[in-house]
Amino acid sequence: MNRCKLDSMSVENYLTALAELSLLTFEDKDEMCYRTTKKGLEFLNTYHRLRWLLLGKENDFMLMRLLDQIKNKEKHPFYVS
């Protein structure tokens, strides 16, 4: 949270909104584990493809590669601490 400069209340609001939109799922109440859903990955992929079309390929190449790696990995949760 510190690296993205958001306070805990803002992060909680964003995570709740993303979960309500089915872009994230809440996995484990003890460790606050959120998993990006297939719909969430598709949304990010579409968003960055559109951004690539508008702004050029140099801006989002690394993120597109990261999204492809996440898509091809086995399902592992992402932890929020």
What is the DSSP-derived secondary structure letter of residue 23?
S
Q: What is the largest CA-CA distance in the chain?
A: 42
Query: Does 3 reside within a domain?
Result: no
Name the pLDDT band for 81 (thresholds 50, 70, 90).
Answer: very low
pLDDT tens across 5-15, in order?
Answer: 778 888 889 88
Query: Does 44 reside within a domain?
Result: yes
What is the DSSP-derived secondary structure letter of residue 73?
S
pTM of structure:
0.60
51/35 Cα distance (integer angstroms): 24
15/23 Cα distance (integer angstroms): 9
Pairing of strands 78-79, 33-36: antiparallel
Query: Does 2 reside within a domain?
Result: no
Residue 1 has a pLDDT of: 57
Can you give the residue range of the structural domain that contains 45?
Answer: 8-79
Query: Does 67 reside within a domain?
Result: yes
Task: Please give the tally of structural domains in the chain.
Answer: 1
Query: Does 1 reside within a domain?
Result: no
pLDDT tens across 36-80, in order?
Answer: 899 998 998 888 888 777 777 666 666 667 767 776 665 555 554
